[in-house]
Chain A
Amino acid sequence: MKMLIAYIRHEAFEPIRADLLDAGFPSLSITEVKGSGRQKAITEHYRGSELAVHLRPKLKLECVVESKDVEVVKDVILRHARTGSVGDGKLFILPVEEAVRIRTGEEGETVLQAHDGEEVTVNGDLA
């Protein structure tokens, strides 16, 4: 099992989300984060004083998949998150020791992502 952690631009999320759903990877989390890298600070002017804002808003995307699926997910993220300009973000891949589905107590790779025979609802429907 591997966890992919990607720091991406906000606008990259929608296409990544859509492609991952199509490929059968509905389970992921995002967090609004602020961070800095090689991208320049934003300079704000406020009544004559300057204020350099070094931390820029980014999205942090987390997704745990079976080890064999890492390349698929990685490709999707790189395809949509890359604009070629400074500030596209970074992707980290970490090993994961264990996974437990809280509702049933099941353990192992079976609790990750979608499985054959299980219906995955799309379009953000909650019901």
Chain B
Amino acid sequence: MRRIALAAGVPLGLLLALPSGALAADGPTLDDTISAVNTTWVIVAAVLVMFMQAGFLFLEVGFSRAKNAGLGVVKILTNYSICAIAYWAVGFALAFGGAGEIAGDSGFFLDVSSVPSEAAQQFPLLDIAGISPAALLFFQFVFCAVSLAIVWGTTLERLKFSAYVIYAVVFSAVIYPVISHWIFGGGWLQVNVGMQDFAGSTVVHLIGATGGFAALLLLGPRRGKYGPDGKPRAIPGHSMPLVGLGVMILWLGWFGFNPGSTLGALGGRFAEIALVTNLAAAAGVLAALTVMYQRTKTYDVGMAGNGAIAGLVAITAPSGYVEFWAAPIIGAVAGVIVVYGVILIEKVLDDPVGALSAHGLAGIWGTLSCGIFTAPRLAELNGVGEGGLWYTGSVAQLWNQALGVGVAFACVFAVSYAVFFAIKHTVGLRVTAEEEDAGLDIAETGMYGYPEQFIPPSELIGSGLPVEGGAAQRAPAGVTATAMTGEATA
């Protein structure tokens, strides 16, 4: 992310240097207006990203069996809410509160000066972007919430609810903020290494998938996923239409995710990034569908969705660094990677939604693709790293990208594994076998997501027999359906 607003930021910085109040008597100053425009775009983008929670919700619920549908709802609501408070209290300060190499240290609870120039000393990114501190926090928070939502894709249908809660606190207060500081917030990977990650193929998606990977290793597969011969068996999710709705909501949300990472609307870069994003997603769908058709001669619903997500994840890092022509290539490669990733990973690890492939492998590919396709002019515009292999013939940037991926993966994996290990040996990571068979809805939420599917009609209050042909209107008042049936079939 970042530095894209540099072009706009230079004149803004000059304006900030003017004696404040010089123009104030005549109404809003130019920098007031610039700040308002940029803040508006950032909040609009943040709201789009917030709505991606609904995308994850429908995607995960659709890929679950009906007996686990309700739990997905309460899980997403709980995680989002924990993240909202933890990120405001602690996370944002660690991520963006100062230019330390490892983490920031100021602005806990968004304790920030109301004078813009002082605020910009606390949060250096504000100087570049010229947006309000609250807008920056909200925008960065919804990214953290997306990353947290990704973690749980691998753990569907068997993880204990308390594990969600504990890891959510650690993740949104420490893990995500520290890594995002390294790559987004002026930390060592961004400044010293020059790693390019415009909107978070690594920061958001790889981190989330890595947390999910650590959880999955300790959690194990769903009961019955692997047959007596050790071969994986399909456990179909209960609603492909819900999966489709989830994918489309995520796709929509990505137009806040990548274009919003300009942190400003000046110069129109955000529109180009929106187009780049869309091209990659479309190529991801088509590539995944084609590969699957060649394998199975079917048009695989789930893989088409995974292809879209993989294309979007992959283009997230390069979206601000590449020209239009590179976007479909990056997306198509991601679409191929996700198909083979899902099929190969499924042989040993039970990942119900394909998060390890769609967010993990595609996130790695997207981050590396900067090292190949980054245009020198855009690297210069963003002020991070250099042009990619295609332009420069040098693997230097590619190497830096790989270093960043490796560091982020190793750190997040180590910490996450430790946290999940601690959870496993204290409160427990997994529900009992009986609870898993019964479904998490009845076991953990105490109610069914789809009551009519599990409770016989005779036990459901107020469920009379269906009356067709308007017979109900003809029946005398007070006559119940049961009484009428008794008359008719005697």
Contacts and interface: CB of A to CB of B under 8 A. Distances in A.
Interface residues of B, number: 32
Interface string A95-109: 000000101000000
Interface size class of A (residues with CB under 8 A): 10 to 19
Residue among A46, A47, A49, A127 facing the most chain B CB atoms (10 A cut-off)? A47
A125 B485 CA distance: 10
B455 interface: no
Contact of A48 (B236, B296, B475, B489): B296
A126 B485 contact: yes
A40 B350 CA distance: 29
Contacts of B236: 44, 46, 51
B343 A48 contact: yes
A14 interface: no
Given A48-B300, A50-B234, A124 B346 contact: no
Interface in A58-111: 101, 103
B308 to A, nearest CB: 14
Interface in A17-70: 27, 44-51
Contact of B484 (A45, A49, A123, A126): A126
Contacts, number: 60
A48 B292 contact: yes
Given A121-B488, A125-B469, A48 B474 contact: no
Contacts of B459: none
A120 to B, nearest CB: 10
Interface of A: 27, 44-51, 101, 103, 121, 123-127
26 contacts: A27-B489, A45-B300, A46-B234, A46-B300, A46-B302, A47-B302, A47-B303, A47-B342, A47-B346, A48-B295, A48-B296, A48-B346, A49-B234, A49-B346, A50-B234, A51-B234, A51-B236, A103-B486, A103-B490, A123-B469, A124-B468, A124-B469, A126-B471, A126-B481, A126-B488, A127-B484
Given A46-B236, A48-B343, A51-B236, 12 more contacts: A45-B234, A45-B296, A45-B298, A46-B234, A46-B302, A47-B306, A47-B354, A48-B295, A48-B296, A49-B346, A101-B490, A127-B475
Top 8 nearest A-B pairs (CB, nearest first) are A49-B234, A51-B234, A46-B234, A47-B302, A48-B343, A45-B298, A46-B236, A103-B490
